[in-house]
Amino acid sequence: MSMLAEAATIATRVEALLARMSLAAKLGQMVQGERAWTTPDDVREYHLGSILSGGGSVPGANRPADWVAMNDAYWQASMATDGGRLPIPLLYGVDAVHGHANVLGATVFPHNIGLGATGDPALLERIARATAREILATGVDWTFAPTLAVAQDPRWGRTYESYSDDPALVARLGAAFVRGLQAERGPDGVVACAKHFLGDGGTTDGVDQGNTVASEEELLATHLTPYHPALEAGVLTVMASFNSWNGDKCHGHRWLLTDLLKHRLGFDGFVVSDWDGADYLSDDYAEAIAMAANAGVDMFMVSVEWRKCIETLRALVDAGTIPLARVDDAVRRILGVKLRYGLFDRPRPAERPWARRPAALGAAEHRAIAREAVRKSLVLLKHAPRVLPLSTGARILVAGRNADNRGHQCGGFTIEWQGVSGNARIEGGTSIWEGIRAVAPHAELVPDGAGADPSRHDVAVVVIGERPYAEGMGDIRSVPSPGAGSGPRAARRSSRRTASRWPWPTSIRKTSPRCGGFRQRRCPWWRCCFRAGRSWWTRKWPQRRRSSRPGCPGRRGAGVSDVLFGQADFTGRLSFRWPGAGGTLFPCGYGLTLG
Ligand code: BGC
C-alpha cells in the first residue's frame, strides 16, 4: 500500500473509532499509569491508553515470562467488550535506553555516550534492532528512546544519555536508532520515542530539569537539529522535557510542542509528558493539567495519581478550559500511532512471535553486537610510553574499584533506575577483570592495589570510574560555601569532589611515577581505564599515561580486553570535548590508534 493510501486508511479507521468513543474512553487514552499503581481492572474501567514501567519497576521474578503474563493481562483488560466497551489495545512503555536493561538477563549495550564514540550509525541501527527484539520478547511495544539531548555541560547527570555535544552527530546516530527500533513498523519493530523536547542538554550549569537560556536561533541550531532526521525516520512519539526554555517550562510551552513540533515540523505522532511532568507547571494541579493539555501534551505519564489526572481532565473539559477539539486531536494522534504501529492487528502479547521466543532476551547474537559496540566505543587518549597491546602472558595486576563490577560498568537505568553495584544482578556478560582473566592466565585482581610490586607484576591495569546514577542524582553541583561564589573556584571544588568518586587504589598510587615504583624500574607503566558517564577534568591526569574512555561499556568487559590485548585496534573518537582545568584537554573527535 502506498504511504498516501495507508494514511487515508488509518485516518478512516481513527475517525470510525473516535465516533464510537465516550468522553471517558477518550480521556483514558490520554493517561498512562505506572504498573505498580495500576491493575488490569483499572485499565478496563478507566480505558487507560498506556502503562509504563518506571526504572526498576518490574513484574514477578523479572523474567520474560513474567513480563509477557503482565502485558497479556493489561492487554486483555484493554480489549474487554463487556457492557459495550470499545476495545483499544494498550501500549506498554519502558526505558530500554541501552538495551532492555531493566530485565534480568537482557543484553546491556553501552550508554549513548559510548555509542557516540563509535560514530557508527549502522552499528547503532543493529543495536536498536536487537533491543527491539528483546523488548518484543517481553510482550512490550514501546521504548522511551532514543534520547536526543545535545549535552553541553558534563556536570549534567544525564550526560551519558547523550551521544555527543555535537548536534550533527546526535542527529546521525539518533535517526539510525529510530530506524533500528521501529524497523519500518514491521514485526521486528517497536514504537520509539525521541526525548526530551526541547533543550534538555542545555541547562545552565548542567542542572537536571533546569533552565536552558538560549535565543530561538541557538535553541533550534543546537537542540532541535537531531529531531529533523528523527522525524524523517518516522519516530512515532516524542517526550516533552522537564527543563524550561528561558524560564518557561517545556511541558506548558504551546509554541514548542504545538506550533514548532506539530505544525512547523509536521509531527503527526503523539507527545507524551515526562514522569508527572505536567504537575510542575503550577501549584494549582488543575491549572497545570490545563496548561499542559492546551500546550500540546497528548498523553500524561503519571506515577500514582492517574485517577486524579483523569478526573481533572474531565472537569476541565466540562468547564470548557480544555476544548473538546484538543481532546479529539490528542486521541486521534494516540490512535493513529497504535494503528500505524499495527497494534490493532497484533494478537495478544502471549501469542506474538517474539514473545514466544524468550531466549531472544540476551541472545548470543545480541551479546556479540554489544561486545563489538564496547570495542568500538573505547577511546585511546594517551599512549606514551607505548605499553599496548598487552601480552596475554604478562603478569598483570588489575586494580581499581571498578575492575570487577558489572553493575558499575553498566551505569544507571540497569535493573534499577539508579543502576546497581556488583556482579550478582547483572546476569551474563563480563566485567573488565573477567574479560582480562579469560585471556591472561597470569593476571591477578587486587582491587585496592595492595602488594603492587614491580618485581611481581609487569604491568598494572587500573580501572577507575564513577558509581552508577541516573538523572539529577548524577548532577555535579558546585555547592558554593558562603563567600565562595560561583565560577572557577566553585568549579574546582566540584572537580575535586568528582575526583573522589573514582579513587586510585592507594598502594598503586604509592608506586606512581612521582614516587618511583614501576616507572623507576623502567617497567611498562600502568594503564588506566576510565569508565564514567561524562568527560571530566582533573589537574593530575594529563601528566599520566593512560588509555581512557568515556562512557559505560555495558557489560561486555570482554570487549575491553579485545582491544587491550590487540585483537582489535582502537577506533573510538571522543564525541564530547574533554575539558581541562584551563580549557579543552582533548577536542571532540580526538582518539589515537595503536597503528
Ligand atoms: C525520565 C524519562 C523516563 C521516564 C520514565 C523520567 O524521570 O526523565 O527519561 O523516560 O522517567 O521512566
User: Do 250 and 342 belong together in one domain?
Assistant: yes
Q: Where are the beta strands (DSSP E) in 80-147?
A: 91-94, 142-143
The best mutation among 57, 95, 200 to test binding of ligand 1, ranked by most ligand atoms within 8 Å of the C-beta, falls on: 95
Residue 238 is assigned to a structural domain of this protein: yes
Residue 370, domain member (yes or no): no
User: Which residue range forms the structural domain that includes residue 192?
Assistant: 3-360
pLDDT at 552: 46
Give the atom of ligand 1 at the shortest distance from the alpha carbon of 417.
Answer: 12
Same domain for 346 and 395?
no
The whole-angstrom separation of Cα 105 and Cα 367 is 11
Question: Cα of 301 to ligand 1 centre, how many Å?
Answer: 9
Atom index in ligand 1 nearest the CA of residue 195 equals: 9
Q: Confirm whether 369 is domain-assigned.
A: no
121 and 71, same domain (yes or no): yes
What does each C-alpha distance from 36 to 45, 100, 371 come to in angstroms?
17, 19, 34
Query: pTM value?
Result: 0.93
Which pLDDT belongs to residue 555?
56
- Whether the bond into 587 is cis, omega within 30 of 0: no
Residues 433 and 317 in one domain: no
Pocket test for ligand 1, best of 97, 275, 279, 304 (most atoms within 8 A of CB): 275
Determine which residue's CA is closest to atom 12 belonging to ligand 1.
Answer: 54
Nearest CA to ligand 1 atom 8: 274
For residue 481, give the CATH number of its domain. 3.40.50.1700
Strand bridging mode 444-445 / 459-465? unpaired
Pair 471, 501 in one domain: yes
Output the pLDDT for position 1. 74
Cell numbers that stand for 84 in this block: 459495550
User: Is 471 annotated in the active site?
Assistant: yes
Q: Do 445 and 319 share a structural domain?
A: no
What's the pLDDT at 528? 62
pLDDT computed for residue 495 by the predictor: 40
Residue 274 Cα to ligand 1 midpoint, Å, equals 6
Tell whether 593 is covered by a domain: no
Consecutive 10-residue runs of the chain (595 residues): their mean pLDDT? 89 98 98 98 98 97 98 98 96 98 97 97 98 98 98 96 98 98 96 98 97 98 98 98 98 98 98 98 98 99 97 98 98 98 97 96 97 95 88 93 92 96 92 95 91 85 89 79 41 40 54 33 47 64 39 67 94 92 89 93
Q: How far is the CA of 53 from the centre of ligand 1 (A)?
A: 10
The answer on 330 and 461 residing in a single domain is no
Burial 297-327 (b: 16+ CB within 10 A, else e): bbbbbbbeebbebbebbeebbeeebbeeebb
135 close to 174: Cβ distance less than 8 angstroms? no
**Residue nearest (by alpha carbon) to ligand 1 atom 5:** 54
Looking at the fold, whether 321 and 413 belong to one and the same domain comes out as no
| Ligand 1 atom 7, closest CA | 275
533 Cα to the center of ligand 1, angstroms = 17
Residues 408 and 325 in one domain: no
| Marked catalytic residue, from 42, 166, 274, 276 | 274
Tell me, yes or no, whether 408 and 450 share the same domain.
yes
Same domain, 522 and 439: yes
Cα 144 to averaged position of ligand 1 atoms, centre (Å): 8
d(CA 460, CA 447): 11
Total domains in the chain come to: 2
Of the candidates 403, 518, 535, which has an alpha carbon nearest to the alpha carbon of residue 476? 535
Mutation choice for ligand 1 from 238, 274, 471, CB with most ligand atoms inside 8 A: 274
Q: What are the two backbone dihedrals, phi and then psi, of residue 300, each rounded to the nearest 5 degrees?
A: -95, 115
Give the pocket of ligand 1 (CB within 6 Å). 54-55, 95, 144, 195, 274-275, 471
User: What b/e string do you get for 40-52 counting C-beta neighbours within 10 Å, with b at 16 or more?
Assistant: bebbbebbbbbbb
Write the residue with the smallest CA distance to atom 11 of ligand 1.
Answer: 275
Of residues 14, 13, 88, the one with CA closest to residue 44:
88
Q: Is residue 453 part of a domain?
A: yes
Q: What is the pLDDT of residue 41?
A: 98
CA distance 538 to 185: 46
**Cβ of 396: how many Cβ atoms within 10 Å?**
25
Sheet strands (E) in 437-482: 444-445, 459-465
The one catalytic residue in 161, 279, 471, 562 is 471
Place of cell 470499545: 86
Give the dihedral sign, CA 12/13/19/23.
negative
Alpha carbon of 101 to ligand 1 centroid (Å): 14
Whole-number Å distance between alpha carbons of 134 and 139: 9
Same domain assignment for residues 356 and 393: no
